[in-house]
Amino acid sequence: MRYLPLSEADRSEMLATIGVGSIDELFVDVPAAARLPDLIDLPLQASEAAVERTMSAWAARNRAAGAGPFFLGAGAYRHHVPASVDHLIQRSEFLTSYTPYQPEIAQGTLQVLFEFQTQVSELTGLPVANASMWDGSTACAEAVMMASRVTRRRKAVLSGGLHPHYAASAYTLAHTSGVETRRLAAAVDDEAAVIAAIDSDTACVVVQTPNVFGTVTDVSDIARAAHAAGALLIVVTTEAVSFGLLRSPGDMGADIAVAEGQSIGNGLTFGGPYVGLFACRSELVRQMPGRLCGETVDAHGRRGFVLTLSTREQHIRRDKATSNICTNSGLCALAFSIHMTLLGGTGLTKLARINHARARRLREALATIPGVEALTPRFFNELAIRLPRPADAVVEALAKRDILAGVPFSRLDPDAGLEDVLLVCATETTLAEDIEVLAKALAEEIAR
Amino acid sequence: MTLQTVGRVTRAEFQPEDGAKDRVGHGLLQDEALIFEEGRFDMTGVDFDETAEDVELGDLEGLLRDAPPALPGLSEPETLRHYVRLSQRNHAIDLALYPLGSCTMKHNPRLNEKMARLPGFADLHPLQPASTVQGALAVMDALAHWLKTLTGMPAVALSPKAGAHGELCGILAIRAAHEARGDARTTILTPTSAHGTNPATAALAGYQVQEIAQTPDGRVDLADLAAKLGPHVAAIMVTNPNTCGLFERDIVEIARLTHEAGAYFYADGANFNAIVGRVRPADLGVDAMHINLHKTFSTPHGGGGPGAGPVVLSEELARFAPLPWVTHGPDGFALVERAEGEAAAALGRLCAFHGQMGMYVRALTYMLSHGADGLRQVAEDAVLNANYIKARLSGVMSAPFGEGPCMHEALFDDTWLEGTGVTTLDFAKAMIDQGFHPMTMYFPLVVRGAMLIEPTETEPRHELDRFCDALLALAAAAKAGDVDRFKGAPYEAPLSRLDETAAARKPRLRWTP
Amino acid sequence: MRFTKDHEWVELDGDTATVGITAYAAEQLGDVVFVELPAPGKKVEAGGDMAVVESVKAASDVYAPLSGEVTAANGELSDNPQTVNDGPESSGWLVKIKVADPSQMEKLMDRAAYEAFLGTL
């Protein structure tokens, strides 16, 4: 077995050193009835070449996003990731290292986290960011719990523009702790409804911008209404590239900003692993979940970095911890940080403008198809359109023509009564000819 | 007050006198500034296919930032240097033994990385029509089959993003099962030696936590468990092999008592790597158990994630599994994403999309490579290596739980350091100067000055011997009174001990101009 | 000054008790990096959670030695938590409590008894 270095001779000599006659004697504490005498009924070990054949055959049965016209967004986005990003994250010292518990020999990971926190802080416009969460949806759920701890209130108002998976994840985490999540009806733009739903029991308001329908919202008025009621504003962003163009959550009055960071540095990977971004106002830091990296000095007075404020965390605080989270999403955060370092603020803004330009082109091409209505008033790189037929059937028909046309809203929220709504997205990877192909095929499908 | 004094030494007590502060590098190891100090804020290291200047932005008025984010952009050569230089300040399993107990730092096969990067897996959107992702769903189905077969359990929820998320998933399923019977229970029992995530998860799921005492030989105290079980107890959370590296001999009795009280047995599967292929958790009476794919099935730790924490479930708990899951029908594989029909009792969603696909591909590649025979050998060699280290060090270092065999990790305490002036922390830091990463220290909390060593099965014997020789030499130095060697350690690392007290008193959590 | 077995001290002035952690506790904890104190007005029960004192690697709950209502918290500690190490039984006090029943003091140890108790640890 190519991954196991011990020889049979090693094994018997080591057993002799230990003072036992066989490996079975080391498993003596296992109850006899639970000791498996034989191999489990699964295939036996296989060569690298054989495993590669098997896995590649499975991979070949999927239509890769980049293999043709592709317009899906809704929480996961296809962007070009520079080649150096994947090269660097495969450096052994990043890929095969553990959580930086021994700071003297983990300064690489720690400095990356410090830089990552600074980048996230700058993008979200809030002074403190943590070392990342599992993904945007779990970051959002943790933010709701945090707001409940801060305000000592037990109700969260969720905008109808919040990604339905995010709303569902927040519900799962919150309701067992007695925190109610009140999700408003799915709506392209529900600013007024959100403000109307805030009351004196509200711990937090959760608003997404750009929202799941693509709508960009100035949340300043919602922030004012939330703060007047003593509630916190949580702003969710699923498309991190939008930070390059749009006002930051902090600038608009958010107390906590959470985001899916996948767009920067990380591929689609069928939904994970991704990287959650989490930032907040300074005075809330002790209620923040997740790891934090801080600056300090070593015994020689040299600058260095350590994990800090750990008393919030499960390994110390146990049942009184701010969260049960143990890991962050280290390698995905590294990929985010490297891509962001290549882009810089200037590059991110350029990238964002190109995304917006492609989405405008997409809207123009689709909105002129008879029977298609563009629903999203102000968008960044994705928007909702209404079709004259259920969107899922249209998407299936177009997939047969090798066009991945978008996400039927009913896939995310089957009970919203929006079967005819299709979410479409364009990024810098979307070519003009792809848009032409989609527009032509969509027109044909609708006319059918 | 509760006097928590664990691992209290948190700043350098020893101030070496030399010119280290003025050095800009160390041999070929360059010092590296922050990107904010070396980069330019008006530059970018990415070229774009079109200019972005002429984009119409009129309808976003009032929604736009005034200026680009104040972040530097580095060219590709600068970026490569920055990160490669930083990488040289990390220890890694590819460099040497990484004996962190409870963490399972084993070799990460590179085939797994290669497979995860096939465009047919890496470039798939989670919301593509099922007809376009049949291979991906087949991978999830195959992974589920392996996990179920290896554990003997009938069902598995794949979506939890990490071990702690898996714990939450399992406990929420248990909660749902009690609630479905109208049985409101309030309490979860965990041993004092449990991972911190266990009580944290129980609290997050709305339960009170009560601790079960430990016997002098490092196992769950059956009498104490029996006394604390009752109609208020929803579940016990027990790690097996436990965090002391020992197999719970009475595990079947623990399960029986638990079930008799109407409670469920949640197993923390963090240490499944010690028994995979030799013991099926189902045969021990487990109702739910998460599996850290990044431990047992060697997806890379990546400096702190991402991991993955699928949870195997008993027949009784299976119907409460979170959405989504994979089914197979006449049209091939499909995803169940709606809480209706067969999925009506599902506990909801734990996260967006379907979980850590990139980790599924790596873990399945690992399983196919090893096979049933290789996985059994994994457990045997992991246990053999740990017992070999225990045997070689026991003459000098003290083991708290006596003579019997350990499983995949060897636990020592600090009794043997008494009177030397050297603490567990000092000893661990001095290991760095010998070229080794320290073992897990001060965990489990039930053992004073704990040192928990997990070598894993991918260490060759000569590396184990080098490691043991180094520790024995250090131990001799400690006993000989060479205290300076320990108090100032590490001397040879890129940095000496860091002032964690200053970091916590006045947190500086981002760069500021 | 009176003491508890949980290493809190109390000094009574009229019906107002000043409460802190003992020099022994501060020494055992090592460098204090953060202190979480209750807001004035909070009612506390003898033996119940009152404050949290954190070192880098540990968080210790401080129990109220007496029942009553918190009237003041030591604001100095939020900026300079090391005050707890510098003067645990003086400038590093944690809270002042308006005590419901001053006779509760009689159940606590005097210094000699506390020191004898420390000798048994």
Contacts of B493 (CB under 8 A, 6+ apart): A104, A105, B432, B433
Q: How far is CA A222 from the centre of its chain?
A: 24
Q: Which residue in B233, B303, B307, B230 sits closest to B269, CA to CA? A: B307
- The answer to whether A204 touches A230, Cβ cutoff 8 Å, is no
pLDDT band, very low/low/confident/very high, at B8 (cuts 50, 70, 90) = very low
B4: distance to nearest CA of chain C, Å? 6
Mean pLDDT over each residue of chain B, to the nearest integer: 93
Residue pLDDT, tens place only, B299-355: 999 999 999 999 999 999 999 999 999 999 898 999 999 989 889 999 999 999 999
Of B93, B359, B494, the CB nearest to A96: B93
What is the length of chain B? 513
Q: Distance between CA atoms of B21 and B314, rounded to whole angstroms?
A: 58
Q: Which domains does chain B have, with CATH numbers?
A: 112-367 (3.40.640.10), 372-501 (3.90.1150.10)
Number of Cα atoms under 13 Å in the Cβ half of residue A372: 29
Residue pLDDT, tens place only, A5-22: 999 999 999 999 999 999
- Asked if C56 and A317 come within 8 Å (Cβ–Cβ), the reply is no
Of B16, B350, B507, the CB nearest to A172: B350
Give, as one character, the DSSP assignment of residue B408: S
Number of residue pairs across A and B with CB atoms under 8 Å? 718
Looking at residue C102, its pLDDT comes to 85
Tokens of A329: 């999403």
Q: In chain A, which residues have their Cβ closer than 8 Å to the Cβ of B131? A: 396, 399-400
- Asked if B1 and C56 come within 8 Å (Cβ–Cβ), the reply is no
Could you give the ipTM of this predicted complex?
Answer: 0.97
Residue pLDDT, tens place only, C78-116: 889 999 999 999 999 999 999 988 888 888 999 999 999
pLDDT band, very low/low/confident/very high, at B456 (cuts 50, 70, 90) = very high
- Asked if B1 and C53 come within 8 Å (Cβ–Cβ), the reply is yes
**A349-376 average pLDDT score:** 96
Looking at residue B58, its pLDDT comes to 82
Looking at residue A311, its pLDDT comes to 81
Residue pLDDT, tens place only, B407-450: 999 999 999 999 999 999 999 999 999 999 999 998 888 899 99
Q: Distance between CA atoms of A54 and B368, rounded to whole angstroms?
A: 9
- Asked if C30 and B2 come within 8 Å (Cβ–Cβ), the reply is no
Q: Tell whether A105 is within 8 A of chain B (Cβ).
A: yes
Measured from the Cβ of residue B372, the count of other Cβ atoms closer than 10 Å reads 21
Q: Distance between CA atoms of C80 and C89, rounded to whole angstroms?
A: 16
The domain locations on chain A are 65-80+345-447, 83-339
Residue pLDDT, tens place only, B142-163: 999 999 999 999 999 999 999 9
Burial of B210 (0-12, 13-18, 19+ CB in 10 A): middle
User: What are the backbone dihedrals phi and psi of residue C109, each rounded to the nearest 5 degrees, phi first?
Assistant: -80, 150
Residue pLDDT, tens place only, B87-135: 999 999 999 999 999 999 999 999 999 999 999 999 999 999 999 999 9
Looking at residue B252, its pLDDT comes to 97
- Asked if C57 and B2 come within 8 Å (Cβ–Cβ), the reply is no
- Tell me which of 3.40.640.10, 2.40.50.100, 3.30.70.2740, 3.90.580.10 is the CATH number of domain C2-112: 2.40.50.100
Tokens of B353: 């999309």
Q: Is residue B10 over pLDDT 70?
A: no
Residue pLDDT, tens place only, A402-413: 999 999 999 999
- Asked if A51 and B368 come within 8 Å (Cβ–Cβ), the reply is yes
**Cis previous bond, B241, omega within 30:** yes
Q: In chain A, which residues have their Cβ closer than 8 Å to the Cβ of C54? A: 311
Looking at residue A317, its pLDDT comes to 75
Residue pLDDT, tens place only, B479-513: 999 999 999 999 999 999 999 999 999 999 999 98
Q: Distance between CA atoms of B459 and A212, rounded to whole angstroms?
A: 48
- Asked if B10 and C63 come within 8 Å (Cβ–Cβ), the reply is no
CATH no. of A83-339: 3.40.640.10
Q: Is residue A82 over pLDDT 70?
A: yes
Q: Tell whether C39 is within 8 A of chain A (Cβ).
A: no
Q: Is residue B168 over pLDDT 80?
A: yes
Identify the chains in contact with C, defined as 3+ C-beta pairs within 8 A.
A, B
Q: How far is CA B229 from the centre of its chain?
A: 29
Tokens of C22: 């003992």
Q: Distance between CA atoms of B14 and B6, rounded to whole angstroms?
A: 20
B413-435 exposure pattern, b = at least 16 Cβ within 10 A, e = fewer:
bbebbeebebbbbbbbbbbbbbe
SS3 B355: coil
Q: Could you give the percent of chain B with pLDDT greater than 70? A: 95
Of A18, A89, A112, the CB nearest to B388: A18
The domain locations on chain C are 2-112
Nearest CA in chain A to B375: A45
Looking at residue B11, its pLDDT comes to 60
Higher pLDDT, A248 or C28: A248
Q: How far is CA B205 from the centre of its chain?
A: 20
Nearest CA in chain C to A320: C59
- Asked if C58 and A311 come within 8 Å (Cβ–Cβ), the reply is yes
Of A286, A316, A320, the CB nearest to C57: A316
Interface of C with A in 71-100 (CB under 8 A): none
Residue pLDDT, tens place only, C33-76: 999 999 999 999 999 999 999 988 788 899 999 999 999 999 99
- Asked if B4 and C7 come within 8 Å (Cβ–Cβ), the reply is no
Q: Classify residue A402 as left (phi > 0), alpha (psi -120 to 50) or beta.
A: left
Contacts of B22 (CB under 8 A, 6+ apart): none
B493: distance to nearest CA of chain C, Å? 22
- The answer to whether B324 touches B335, Cβ cutoff 8 Å, is yes
3-state secondary structure chain A: CCCCCCCHHHHHHHHHHHCCCCHHHHHCCCCHHHCCCCCCCCCECCCHHHHHHHHHHHHHCECCHHHCCECCCCCCCCCCCCHHHHHHHCCHHHHCCCCCCCHHHEHHHHHHHHHHHHHHHHHHCCCEECCCECCHHHHHHHHHHHHHHHHCCCEEEECCCCCHHHHHHHHHHHHCCCCEEEECCCCCCCHHHHHHHCCCCEEEEEEECCCCCCECCCCHHHHHHHHHCCCEEEEEECCHHHHHCECCCCCCCCCEEEEECCCCCCCCHHHCCCCEEEEECHHHHHHCCCCCEEEEEECCCCEEEEECCHHHCHHHHHHHCCCCCCCCCHHHHHHHHHHHHHHHHHHHHHHHHHHHHHHHHHHHHHHCCCCCEECCCCECCEEEEECCCCHHHHHHHHHHCCCECCEEHHHHCCCCCCCCEEEEECCCCCCHHHHHHHHHHHHHHHHC
- The answer to whether B482 touches B140, Cβ cutoff 8 Å, is no
Q: Specify the pTM.
A: 0.95
Amino acid letter, residue A429:
T
- Asked if A94 and B74 come within 8 Å (Cβ–Cβ), the reply is no
Q: Is residue B398 over pLDDT 50?
A: yes
Q: Which residue in B174, B175, B210 sits closest to B194, CA to CA? A: B210
**A219-232 average pLDDT score:** 98
Topology given in CATH for the domain delimited by A65-80+345-447: Aspartate Aminotransferase, domain 1 (3.90.1150)
Q: Tell whether B130 is within 8 A of chain C (Cβ).
A: no
Q: Tell whether B11 is within 8 A of chain C (Cβ).
A: yes
Of B60, B305, B361, the CB nearest to A328: B305
Tokens of B448: 């004073």
Q: Tell whether C54 is within 8 A of chain A (Cβ).
A: yes
Q: Distance between CA atoms of B438 and B313, rounded to whole angstroms?
A: 36
A308: distance to nearest CA of chain C, Å? 8
Mutate to test the interface with B, among C10, C19, C33, C53 (most CBs of B within 10 A): C33
